[in-house]
Structure formats: structure tokens, C-alpha cells
Amino acid sequence: MGVDWVFLDEKHLLKEGGIYEMRVFDVVRSNGHFKLLASLGSIRFDDQTKFVELAETTAFIPTEQFRFWK
């Protein structure tokens, strides 16, 4: 399984390479008018969404499971 992410960070809350815990968000069907990727779903953030940067994690995330884009 692969996961592609495109974040438009207008408030500069995220750092490249950072690991974050996200809270309070919705997973919705992608809007066909503003579709950036060939994905059926998208994540919607609002004013209640929280991003907490983690100093380190004990979770193992295998990099071969993901496709990273530059």
C-alpha cells in the first residue's frame, strides 16, 4: 500500500522531515474541481486541527511502503 501526501502549508506550521501527530481532521471524497492527485480521498483540516511535532517516535515506518515526491 502506498500513500501520497500533498500539503499546502500556508501558515508554515510544518517542517520538512518532521514527524507530526495530527488530531481533529476529516477524511472526505476528493473534489474533482481542485484535484491535485489521482486519489479518491482527501484530508480536510479546520481551525480545530492540531499538529504536534514529535521529537522522536518508537513507531517503525518502512520507507519502501511510501512514494515520496520532490
Q: pLDDT per residue over 58-67, tens digit each?
A: 766 666 665 6
pLDDT for position 45: 83
DSSP designation for 4? -
Domain contains 43: yes
Domain count, the chain: 1
Domain contains 70: no
Please state whether the predicted TM-score (pTM) of the whole model is above 0.75: no
Domain contains 45: yes
Q: pLDDT per residue over 7-55, tens digit each?
A: 667 777 778 778 888 889 888 887 777 666 667 777 888 889 888 888 8
Domain residue limits at 51? 19-56
Q: What is the SS3 assignment for 8-67?
A: CCCCCCCCCCCEEEEECCEEEECCHHHCCCCCCEEEECCCCCEEEEECCCCCCCCHHHCC
Domain contains 49: yes
Domain contains 62: no
